[in-house]
Structure 1
């Protein structure tokens, strides 16, 4: 992770201690922080039908006041965060913006595009909707991986790589390669896949293990049965049993009623807070 740029997404209400902790570890690892301070736009004006049946705009009486207040708070907090980072001596820049919906996701992605990896501050979980919009923007509109929970710069002893032969899983393996190389052990976990006796060729995960081994990783391939449990439950249980300090997995999404949403396993792994996870799509 030397000389890397990390897109660090922070909410307006994030406390100083969290920001300073991230800044300190970034400084120790010679990492540049692209600190992205984000606020969700207040609910936009709506359309309504009047008594004359014509459509007219419905603007809450205090909407502009709320917008101006949030914008002022965002700018003020950005100035405070910039001072914190300067005082810490870390290489960093601070950008602040407000948005909603698709616009917000693309603004988020634009910052990730200029970074090597993205990390979400834990305080963003206080606003689940904003948290998921940022995560979706990074994962589905940018080429970088997304890290949640724990220290994004920590040395990993054992990494659990959830594998299912999909394109997202393959992509995250490539995105995570520098982190995998630095770990002492990588366990490739496959769930409810056909028995090697039922398929032609090598067992699932074997080709990936060979590729990682050629790079110098110490790799083990394990196959697990879910036994009726969800994939996300099995990933967390197996990772904890193995003592893994990071889970690496592909992220999946789908469109529902024209809204971008995560698939069930991705959603559940985003919501859990016990295990650090690196997602890629």
Structure 2
């Protein structure tokens, strides 16, 4: 019986070792691996003013040749990855796509829709733009959580839950519930709270702790002041101090440009590589 399906996003130049490591843990956990090879289209033709003052396409002479070469390389790599996974006896399928911008985000989201979690291979960081597009596609256009860094199949001993009473943080918590139930300890971290006299009702994090406690989680609520440091730096520092091996947090985007622009804390946590992070939006 399969337990989970993991959408595993990788680049064309991904190392075999990375794929095999992920495949082995998926096999041990009896999970299904949906390996999604992603490549960005070569730079599209641009527009220029011709001698007749009309706008015309500035198509590089070798653009189609570059496109065909990249497409062939993508298909060839997909065939090799499929053979690699078949040889390890892991339940897996391999799909390959090429796209750009919003179109690629939709392709990414379609693959995530029928998975339990999405995981970005570290090798995708070699192309920051592609990494960003895939993250946006999963978080803004699919219903699943996005995980970066570490091993998506690993058992966690301590999860640090960055909490601020927002809808993204609440959704991230619900998406991470299987991990929270399986871990030994959950630390709820709240940052830069107002003074006690300014608070109305319960202190942030206490209602969440009660709900998780009803599920059987061992929960601690901690309140921190950043003292002028960024929220992202504080999350990393406090999570490390708590011995957390996973951070759970909401992902935030600027409302008018949410398709392509993350908030500062989300972007900083996406860029860091020291802690595994599970995002929900």
Summarize the alignment of residues 22-41 of structure 1 with structure 2, pairs less than 5 Å apart. 22-41=22-41
Q: Distance in 1 between matches of 2:3 and 2:164?
A: 32
CA distance in 2, matches of 1:207, 1:180: 16
Q: 1:72 to 1:168 in 2, by over 3 A?
A: same
**Secondary structure in 1 aligned to 2:138?**
helix
Change (3 A) 1:244 1:258: closer
Deviation at 1:254, TM superposition (A): 1.6
**Whole-angstrom CA distance in 2 between matches of 1:255 and 1:85:** 40
Contact between 1:145 and 1:172, CA under 8 Å: does it hold in 2? yes
Unpaired segments ≥5 residues, structure 2: none
Whole-angstrom distance in 1 between the partners of 2:271 and 2:217:
29
Deviation of 1:193 after TM superposition, in Å, equals 1.2
**Contact 1:37–1:95 at 8 Å: present in 2 too?**
yes
Larger CA deviation: 82-91 vs 190-199? 190-199
Q: Which residue of 1 is the match for residue 228 of structure 2?
A: 228
Is the Cα–Cα contact under 8 Å of residues 140 and 259 in structure 2 kept in the other structure? no
Aligned to 2:139: 139
Please say if 1:55 is aligned against 2:81.
Answer: no
In the alignment, the residues of structure 2 paired with residue 227 and residue 258 of structure 1 have an alpha-carbon distance, to the nearest angstrom, of 29
Partner of 2:203: 203
Structure 1 counterpart of 2:266: 266
Q: Give the gaps of 5 or more residues in structure 1.
A: none
The answer to whether residue 116 in structure 2 is matched with residue 116 in structure 1 is: yes
How many matched pairs?
Answer: 281
Over the aligned positions, Cα root-mean-square deviation in angstroms equals 1.4
How far is 1:205 from its partner? 0.6
Give the alignment of 1:9-158 within 5 angstroms: 9-158=9-158
Secondary structure of the residue that 2:97 maps to in structure 1?
A: strand
- Please say if residues 196 and 202 of structure 1, whose CA atoms lie closer than 8 Å, have aligned partners that are also in contact: no
Query: CA offset at residue 257 of structure 1?
Result: 7.0
TM-score normalised by L of structure 1 = 0.98
Equivalent-residue separation in structure 2 for 1:268 and 1:169 (angstroms): 16
Q: Distance in 2 between matches of 1:263 and 1:30?
A: 36
TM-score by length of 2: 0.98
Q: Tell me what 2:192 maps to.
A: 192
Q: Which moved more, 1:109-118 or 1:250-259?
A: 250-259
Give 1:256 deviation, angstroms. 6.7
Distance 1:204 1:101 in 2: 38
Q: Which residue of 2 aligns with 1:180?
A: 180
